[in-house]
Amino acid sequence: MSHEKYLGCIEACQTCAVACDHCANACLMEPNVQMLAECIRLDRACALICQTAVAFMASNSPFTMQVCELCARICEACAAECEKHAHHHEHCRQCAEACQRCAEACRSQMSITA
């Protein structure tokens, strides 16, 4: 099977990774960085798992669904944390939205491929 069946999910993961990297860097520029420490930590973890999921999907690995499950879980955790700061930080709002879309894409991909 080809990786083309994953293209929508790959795109969502790539978009999410970029949003998470941007959010983490923007959080580091905020005056109260300590308050955003968990957000930064989850942004970095989420960006990393999204990039990993892309690599697994692109190579059509037999472990893709397990990685997508973990990606969805981390995206959901990151979205929940970013939502706590979304009313003060636009980058957190945008990141939360990207994480939610990615989690949905991963879960949808898992049901299609199962």
As a dihedral over the C-alpha atoms of residue 48, residue 50, residue 52, residue 54, rounded to 10 degrees, the angle is: -150
Rounded Cα gap, residues 10 and 97, in angstroms: 16
Residue 21 CA to residue 43 CA, distance in Å, equals 7
pTM assigned to the model: 0.93
Write the pLDDT tens digit of every residue in 58-88: 999 999 999 999 999 999 999 999 999 999 9
Q: Which domains does the chain have, with CATH numbers?
A: 3-113 (1.20.1270.360)
Cα torsion 11, 73, 64, 45: sign? positive
Q: What is the pLDDT of residues 21-62, one digit of tens each?
A: 999 999 999 999 999 999 999 999 999 999 999 999 999 999
Tell me what the pLDDT averaged over the chain comes to.
94
pLDDT at 112 over 90: no
Amino acid at 38: E
